[in-house]
Structure 1
Amino acid sequence: MRPPVLDPLFAPVSSLPGIGPKIAKLLTGFLTQNPDREATVADLLFHLPHSVIDRRHKPGIAYSENGDIVTLDVMIDRHQAPPRGSKAPYKITAFDDTGQITFVFFHPRRDWLEKMFPAGERRIVSGKVEWFNSQPQMVHPDYVVSPEEADSLPTLEPVYPLTAGLASKTLQKGLGAAIDRIPHLPEWLDAAHQRRNHWQSFSEALVQVHKPDERQDLDPESPCVQRLAYDELLASQLALALVRAQMRQLGGIARATTGTLQKEVIAALPFELTASQQTSISEINDDLAKPVRMLRLLQGDVGSGKTVVALSALAQVIETGAQGALMAPTEILARQHYASMLTLCEKAGIRLALLTGKDSAKTRRDVQEKLLSGEIDLAVGTHALFQGSVAFRDLGLVVVDEQHRFGVHQRLALSAKGRGVDVLVMTATPIPRTLVLTSFGDMDVSRLTDKPAGRKPITTVSASLDRLEEIISRVGNAIQSGQKVYWICPLVEESEKIDLAAVGDRHRVLEQALGQPVSLVHGRMTADEKEAGMQAFKGGDTRVLVATTVIEVGVDVPDATIIVIEHAERFGLAQLHQLRGRVGRGDKPSTCVLLFKGPLGETASSRLNIMRQTNDGFLIAEEDLKLRGGGEILGTRQSGMPGFRIADAESHADLMETARDDARLILDKDPQLKSERGEALRALLYLFGRDEAIALLRAG
C-alpha cells in the first residue's frame, strides 16, 4: 500500500486550479510515458525548469542594452492607436529620468491597453529591449504592474520546456498550486551523507528548484538538483538491488562440467576465438560453476562474435542435462541466430529448435512437447518463448539478445520457467559504465573488445544529398563488379506515411537507374514479405537492398560491402554505428556513405565527424552520451538518463556509484525495509514509480 503521506503528490493534475480536462490531457501526453493514467501532481513537480529569466536588472531606459531583459520603472506618456483597418502596430510611449521608450503591440485590444497603461501614471514594466533606428522599444512586454503590485513581479522566473498548446503562464500557475501541496516527507537519506553534502530535505530542494534564489540553483551541480537526482538514482538502484536480491534468494545451481561439449562447439568454428571471447567464456564458466544465479551482461560491438560466446555458455549448461533458451527481439534476428548456430549444433550434437509467433499451431505444439520431454536441448525464438504455455523440462540458462528491447519483467518471466535459471544478457549497443548501472544495476559485465581475425576496417565518408546522382552511378559500378549494397532510408515516426512514400520512391529510382530488380524491406511489410526481400538479397538474386532501419540489428550478409545511409543527420550516433556494422563482415574492404542534407547543426556535424574518425563502438558510445545524454542509447526517447527525469548521465555519474553502494548497504542491514529508514525508503520507491520492487519484498 502506498504511504498516505504521498497522497497529495499522487492526485491527478486536473485537481489543480486552472487545469481543466484539455490541459490535463496535454500534460499527460507530455509528462508521462503512459497515456492510460492521468499525469499526477508529482509528474508536474518533477518537470524541472531548464533556465531562468533574471528580472532584477534595472539599468534605466538609456542604459538598457539591445536584446537584454530589463525591468523599468516608467511614467506612461501617451497612446498612439493605428488608423482603423490599418495593419500598423499600437504604440505607447513612456519615459524615466534617463530617456524615452516605446511599447509596441500587434492586434491589441485598445480598452485593455488603456487600463494596463493609464497615461500620466507610473508602471513597472519587464521584457526584452530592442534598439530600432537608435530608439529603444519593447514588443509585447512580459509583465506590467502598478508600483503597489511590484512585489508580484517574479525576480528570477524559471523557464520550463513546453509542448504545443501549453502556455507558459498556464504551466506556471499549475506549478504554483502544486508547490503548495508538497507534503513534509520522512527523511530516507543517511544523516551523515546528507550533512556531508550540505543537502536540504527533499521537499525544500524541490521548492528551491521551482523558486530559485540564484541562477546557479538550476545547475546540475547545485545542492538542490544534486539532492533530487540522488533521490531518483537511489530509488532506481534500490529497486534493481531488490530484483537482484530476489534472484539470489531463489538460489542457483552449480553447473560444473568437464567442458567437453563446449570444446566441441569451439572446435567446430571455422576461426580462432579472439582473446576477449576466451576471457568472456571463462568468466561465464566461473559464474555457472557457482551455486548462485548468474546475471551477466555481455557487451560486444557489432560483429565481435557474441553469438559464439553465448553458444559456448549454452553448451556448458546443456552438458549438465539442462536446457537453454535464446530470446531475440525480432523474428528476422531469431531466424538468423538459428541459422548461424545450426551447423555448430549439428557438429556438437546439440538438438536445436526455432520457436516464433508465426509458427503453425502444429509446429508449435510439436516443439512444446519436445521441450517438455527434454528432446530439445536449445530453443531459439522471439518473445513467444516466454509466453505462458511454453514449458521446459529443465531450463538452465536464458540468453537475452539486445537487452534494451526487453523489460526486467520479461527477463524474470523467462527465467521463472526453470529452477535457479542463469541469465546472460547480450547487447551490441556498447553501453558506458554509468548506463550499465542505471539500466542493469549491479550486473557483472563481460566485454568483447576485439574483432574476429580477417575483418577489414570500414571506410566511412560523408557526402551532401546534392551529389545523389553521382552516388547512384558509383553504386551501379560497384554492383557491376559483383558487390552488394544496402541503401537505408530514415523513418521518422511522426510522418510514417510520407517516409514510406520516400522509401518507395527511392526503391523505384534505384531500379530505374540501375536497370535491375532491387529488394525492399520496411516495417509495414508482413514477416513473409520481409523474409523474401532479405533472402533475394542474401542469395544474390538482387544486389541492392533498400530498407528502413528494420535492418539495424543482426542482419548478416557477409558479402555486402557498401552501405549508404540517407539523411544521416537524422540518426543518433549509436544507430549510425549499428547500421554501419551491417557491412565489413567478410574479408573484403567495406565502405559506409553518410548522405546528409545541409546545412548541418553543430550536433549532427559532430556526429558525422566522429563516425568518420573511428570504428570503435565503445568510444562512440561515450561520445554519444556526451552529445545528447543517454536517453536514446538504450532506446528510450527523452534525453538525460533513460527513464530518469532529473538525473543526468554526465553530471551525476558519481552520484550513481554512491547510490549503488548505498542501496547495497541498506539491504545488507535491513533486507525487508522494516526499520524507520526502511519505511521512509518505501515512500521513496513509490514516489519515483519503482513500486514493483515493493511487491518483491512482499513476495520475498
Structure 2
Amino acid sequence: MSGRPEILFPLFAGLQTLEGIGPKTAQNIRALGVEAPRDLLFTLPQSGIDRRRRDSVEGAILPGVITVLVTIGHHHPPRTKGGAYRIQVADQQATFQLVFFHARGDYWQRTLPEGSRRLVSGKIEVFDGIAQMVHPDHIVPEEDAASIPNFEPVYPLTAGVTQKVMYKASEKSLALVPAVPEWIDPAQLSRAGWPDFTRAVAAAHRPARQDDLLITAPARERLAYDELMAHQLTLALARARARRKPGRETRGDAHLQSRVLAALPYRPTSAQERVISEINDDMASEARMNRLLQGDVGAGKTLVAFMAMLRAVEAGGQGVLMAPTEILARQHLESLQPLAEQAGIVLEVLTGRDKGKEREVKLKALAQGDVQILVGTHAVFQADVAFCDLRLAIVDEQHRFGVRQRLELGRKGQAVDVLVMTATPIPRSLSLAQYGDMDVSILDEKPPGRKPIQTALISTERMGEIVERLRAAISSGRQCYWVCPLVEESEVVDLTAAEARFKHLRAALGEDIVSLVHGQMPVAEKDAAMARFQTGKSKVLVATTVIEVGVNVPNATIMVIERAETFGLAQLHQLRGRVGRGDAASTCLLVYQQPLSENGRRRLEVLRETEDGFAISETDLRMRGAGDLIGTAQSGVPRFKVADLERQAGLMAIAQSDARLLLNEDPTLETERGRAARLLLWLMRQEEAIRLISVG
C-alpha cells in the first residue's frame, strides 16, 4: 500500500502552515504532543467558559465571568509608578471599572477613547465596594461581537502558548478537515447516535454548553471510539497475521499428561481443566498459538504451563519456560522437577550463571533433544542457544518482557506456539489495550486447600506489637516476610530503609534469624539469602519488592508490608499472595503511617475486604488511573488523546469486536468500508498497521 492518502496531506503538514503560528510557537506547542494540525484536532478543550451576553452586571452573581456591552467613560491613569490604570465604564443599568496593570503611555487612551462602545468579557469581582474587571479576556468593537463565542472552549496550555493561540490554531485546523468516507459499521453508528467524523471534530472543538465536554457527549464519544478502533484494528491485523503464519500441529496422546495428573495429590480445578484443554486445542490446530494466561496469585498457572509443555514433548518436541529473574527460574525448576520425574522426562535450567564447560554440556544436550523442557531467564534468547525441535515457548510475567522479546522467542523454532502468563490481574479495558492481539484464558478459581489470608491494618506507631507477633510466630516454627517501603526517588533510599529495618529486627530477634534481600545486591548474595530463607535457616526475610513475583515458601505465614500506603493495590495483592501457600493460617499486616489520606485508607480497606485480584485491579484502575497503574516501564499500553481507558472499557470492547469482524469479512481492507478504515489508520498515525496490511 502506497503512502499517506493525499486528502490527509494538509492535516500532516508542519504547524507553521497554519496562519498565526511561527517557528517559536510551533516549538512551544510541541510540549503538548502537537506536531501537525492533525494533533490539534485530537487536543480537545478540557473545560469551557459561558460568555453569553448580558444586558448588565446588575443582578449577576459575583465573582463571575460576564460579557456585556459598555460605553467607555473617564480614564484614571495611575498616580504612582506601577499602579493600576482604571477606566470607568457603564452598561445599560450599572457602572464598573476596567483595571489594567503595566499600562504604557497613552495606549488605552488611544485604544478605548471616551464615549466609544465596546463588548467586554472577563471576570468581575467586587473590591472595596467597587465592581472591577481586571484585564478583560476580550475587548472588541460592537460590530465584532460575533468574534466572542457564547461558550468559549478552554484548551490545555503549555509555556509560551495562550488560549487565543490554541483557539485560533484549532479553528484553522478544523478548516483543513476533508470529507471522509465512514469507517464505522452503520448499525453501530445509528445505535450510538454519533455524528460523522467531520461534524464530530467540529462539535468537540465548539462546545455549546458544559454537557458537550462530557466523555459521553456524542461527538467526543465518537472520536474516542475512532481512536480505540484504530488501535484495535492494529492489534487485530497483528493477530490475523500471526494466525496466517503457518503453525505446526502439535498433537499428543496424553500419556505424559495423564501420568502427571494421576500422581497429583489433588484434582485440578475446573478452571485449570478448561484452560488445559483450550491450550491443547490451540497447539493441535494449524494456526500458531498466541495466548495470554491470566491467573491470580495461587490459581495454579504453573501446573497448566507444565501440562502444555508435556503436550509438546508427547508430540516429539521441546518446551521452554522463561522467567524474569534467576530466583524465579530456579524456583520453577524446583516445583517442576518432581512432576518431570513422574513423567519420566528431562528438565534442565539455563541462566546467566551457567558458564564455560557446564554451559556447553547443557547446550549440546538441548540441541540433540536430550533435554525436553528448559527453564531459564532471558539467557535462553542468546544466539548460541539452539533447540532440537522447539514447539512451545512460555513467558512468565509478561509485563517484564516487551512484545519484541515475545517475538524473538518465537523465532527460536519452526512456528513456535507462544503462551504468556501473568499473575497480575489486569482490568479488562487494559488487557484489551495491551493484549488485544492475543486470545485470553483466565484461571478464576483457587486450588483446593488454599486457606484465606487474614489481612489487618496497623499503624506504624504499634511497631513494638508487630515485632512481638513475629517473635511468637518464629517460636512456633513459622517464617515471616518483611517488605520495606518503596521510595520512588532512588534505589539508594530504598536500600537505607531496608538496611535500617534489617538492623532493627536483628537486634530484636537475633543475628542468625534475619536475612536481607534488595535490588542492589550481587546476584549470588541475593540467591544465597533467598536460599537460607527457603530452606528455613533464616526465619525472617527483609526485602524490597524483589520478592513480589512467584517466590514460594509454604512455611511462611506472616507478611508485613511497611508503609503499605506507598504501594499500588495490585502490588500489595501480589505481595500478600506470598503467604498462605502452606497448610497453616496466614496473616498479612498492612502497616501504614498516620495521617492516612482518605484515598489511602479506601485502598487499604479494599484489600482487607477481598482476595479477588480482578476486583482489586478494577478498583485500582478507578482510583489511580491507567497511567499510574502500569507505570511508565510498561509502555505496552498506548496513550490515548481522547479515549479514557478507565471509564470507557465498554467502548474498547465494542471497538475490538468491530475490528475483528471487519477484518474477518475484509482481511485486506479492500471494500468501501475497508478503504475508509485504512484512512482511519493513517489519520490515527497507525503506520505499523498499514505495514501489516501491505506485507499481509
TM-score (norm 2): 0.85
Cα 1:475–1:644 shift into 2, 3 Å = farther
Match of 1:313 among 305, 308, 333: 308
Counterparts of 1:208-247 in structure 2, within 5 Å, are 208-247=203-242
CA offsets 1:6-58 (integer angstroms, 9 cap, x no match): 44444465776647579747845x64xxxxxx955444443333332323374
CA distance in 2, matches of 1:372, 1:25: 57
2:481 & 2:85 partners in 1: Cα distance?
Answer: 62
Corresponding residue for residue 583 of structure 2: 587
Q: Does 1:330 align with 2:331?
A: no
| Shift of residue 320, structure 1, vs aligned partner | 1.1
Give, in whole Å, the separation in 1 of the partners of 2:422 and 2:229: 25
- Aligned equivalent of 1:54, options 38, 50, 55: 50
Partners of 2:127 and 2:150 in 1: CA distance: 27
| 2:573 alignment counterpart | 577
Q: Deviations over 1:250-285 (max 9, x none)?
A: 233333322121123334445442332223223322
RMSD of Structure 2 on Structure 1 (CA) = 3.9
Structure 1's 73 and 571: CA in aligned 2 closer, same or farther, altered over 3 A?
farther
Equivalent position SS for 2:420: strand
Q: How far has the Cα of 1:310 moved from its partner?
A: 0.6
Q: Deviations over 1:286-326 (max 9, x none)?
A: 33333333333322111111111110111122111111112
Segments of structure 2 that go 5 or more residues without pairing to the other structure are none
- Whole-angstrom distance in 1 between the partners of 2:561 and 2:74: 62
CA contact (8 A) 2:498 2:542 kept: yes
What SS does the corresponding residue of 2:440 show, helix, strand or coil? strand
* Pair 1:666–1:339, CA change in 2 (3 A): same
- For 2:654, which of 636, 651, 658 is the aligned residue? 658
Looking at structure 1, the residues matched to 23 and 93 of structure 2 have their Cα atoms a distance apart, in angstroms, of 46
Contact 2:84 2:102 in 1 (8 A): no
What's the counterpart of residue 608 of structure 1? 604
Letter in 2 for 1:549: T
State yes or no: 1:556 paired with 2:549. Answer: no
The amino acid that maps onto 2:585 is: P
Counterpart of 2:260 in structure 1 is: 265
AA paired with 2:343?
A
Does residue 413 in structure 1 map to residue 408 in structure 2? yes
* Aligned-partner Cα distance in 2 for 1:599–1:112: 55
Aligned residues: 688
* Deviation by residue 1:65-94 (Cα, 9 ceiling, x = unmatched): 355443344556555848569xx9887765
Aligned equivalent of 1:279: 274
The correspondence of residues 514-533 of structure 1 with structure 2, limited to 5 A, is 516=511, 518-533=514-529
C-alpha distance in structure 1 between counterparts of 2:552 and 2:286, whole Å = 37
2:442 to 434, 444, 447: 447
Work out which of the residue numbers 60, 66, 76 in structure 2 matches 1:64. Answer: 60
Contact residue 631 and residue 640 of structure 1 kept, 8 A: no
In structure 2, the CA distance between the partners of 1:165 and 1:458, relative to structure 1 (3 Å rule), is farther
Distance 1:356 1:473 in 2: 40
Residues 457 and 591, structure 2, Cα contact 8 Å, conserved in 1: yes
Equivalent position amino acid for 2:543 in 1: A
Instruction: State yes or no: 1:255 paired with 2:256.
Output: no
| Conserved 8 A contact 1:327-1:399 | yes
Tell me the secondary structure at the aligned position of residue 250 of structure 2.
Answer: coil
DSSP 3-state at the match of 2:104: helix
2:110 matched to 1:109? no
Contact 2:430 2:645 in 1 (8 A): yes
Q: How does 1:427-576 map to 2 (within 5 A)?
A: 427-441=422-436, 443-468=438-463, 471=466, 474-475=469-470, 478-479=473-474, 482-492=478-488, 498-511=493-506, 516=511, 518-576=514-572
Q: 1:76 to 1:523 in 2, by over 3 A?
A: farther
The structure-2 alpha-carbon separation of the partners of 1:132 and 1:693, relative to structure 1 and needing over 3 Å to count, comes to: same
Distance 1:268 1:135 in 2: 89
SS of equivalent residue, structure 2 residue 482 = strand
Distance 2:163 2:631 in 1: 30
Larger Rg computed on CA atoms: 2
Q: Percent identity?
A: 49
**Per-residue CA shift, 1:424-477, capped at 9, x if unaligned?**
222212234444433333644332222233322122223444555654565555
CA gap of 1:90–1:404, structure 2 versus 1, over 3 A, is farther
Which stretches in structure 1 are left out of the alignment for 5+ residues?
A: 32-37
Look up the equivalent residue of 2:4 and give its one-letter code: P
1:694 to 665, 690, 694: 690
Q: In structure 1, what is the equivalent of residue 368 of structure 2?
A: 373
Letter in 1 for 2:623: L
Does structure 1 residue 400 correspond to structure 2 residue 387? no
Conserved 8 A contact 2:28-2:160: no
Could you give the per-residue CA deviations for residues 482-539 of structure 1, whole angstroms, max 9, x where no partner exists? 431222312425x555555544555555555656475444444443444344334434
2:417 matches 1:422: yes
- C-alpha deviation, 1:388, in angstroms: 4.8
Deviation sequence 1:235-263 (CA, Å, 0-9, x none)? 22222222222222223333332212112
CA distance in 2 between counterparts of 1:65 and 1:147 reads 24
Q: TM-score, normalised by structure 1?
A: 0.85
Q: Tell me the CA shift for residue 399 of structure 1.
A: 1.5
Moved more, 605-614 or 542-551: 542-551
Aligned to 1:157, what secondary structure does the other structure show? strand
Range with greater deviation from structure 2 (340-349 or 543-552)? 543-552
**SS state at 2:309 partner:** helix
Q: Secondary structure at the match of 1:660?
A: helix
- Quote the Cα distance in structure 2 between the aligned partners of 1:694 and 1:159: 34
Amino acid across the alignment from 2:394: V
Q: Distance in 2 between matches of 1:172 and 1:148?
A: 21
8 Å CA contact 1:324, 1:377 repeated in 2: yes
